Amino acid sequence: MSFKLNDFQTKWIQEEIDESCIAFMEGFGFHLCDKRDPDSRPGYNAVTTSQMRNIFSEVKRIELKVNDKDGWKKEKTSVLLLRPKIAYSAARAISSKRDSKMKDLREVLEKAIQAVNGADDFKRFAAFLEGVIAYHKVHGGN
């Protein structure tokens, strides 16, 4: 499975999720498992499901409010504050595992959040994160 971290494209957040995005999500989900091959167990530096769930639960909370009338105006600050929350989560993981894949998750999510310019972009961001989490689980993330 070929995967490069810098293959992330902001058009997936600002325009549409396409087949290249799905391929990126799968490769990234596998990468976050820190596995050597598809049949091996997750590595020591893998992102855990609970680390991802902490971020995802906040994203889903915001997404529910963004769907309301004038929701984007009210929640724009919450979206921006996702960046320091993700940075904090990554710093905690890296403090115990220097080569934690959390730093890669942070890098991609930072780019994705910076691409969000409105409610529709945020919905695509949430779908993108959900896809990464799904593929992380498919590839044995724990």
Q: Does residue 1 have a pLDDT over 70?
A: no
Q: Is residue 142 within 8 Å of 44, Cβ to Cβ?
A: no
Lowest mean pLDDT among 15-19, 39-43, 86-90, 95-99: 39-43
User: Which percentage of the chain shows pLDDT scores above 90?
Assistant: 68
Q: Which two tokens stand for residue 67?
A: 């769907």
**pLDDT band for position 2 (50/70/90)?**
low
Rounded to whole angstroms, the Cα distance separating 7 from 125 reads: 16
**pLDDT band for position 98 (50/70/90)?**
confident
pLDDT in tens, 27-74: 999 999 988 777 777 788 899 989 999 999 999 999 998 877 688 888
Sole residue written with tokens 């529910």: 64
Mean pLDDT for the stretch of residues 109-115? 96
Burial of 82 (0-12, 13-18, 19+ CB in 10 A): buried
What is the chain's mean pLDDT, rounded? 90
Helix (H) or strand (E) holding 65: helix 49-66
Q: Is residue 13 within 8 Å of 124, Cβ to Cβ?
A: yes
52 closest CA partner among 138, 130, 139: 130
Q: Is residue 51 within 8 Å of 102, Cβ to Cβ?
A: yes
Mean pLDDT for the stretch of residues 98-104? 90
Q: What is the pLDDT of residue 9?
A: 96
| Domain spans in the chain, listed from the N-terminal domain onward | 18-138
User: Which percentage of the chain shows pLDDT scores above 70?
Assistant: 98
Q: Is residue 43 within 8 Å of 109, Cβ to Cβ?
A: no
Tally Cβ neighbours within 10 Å of residue 114: 12
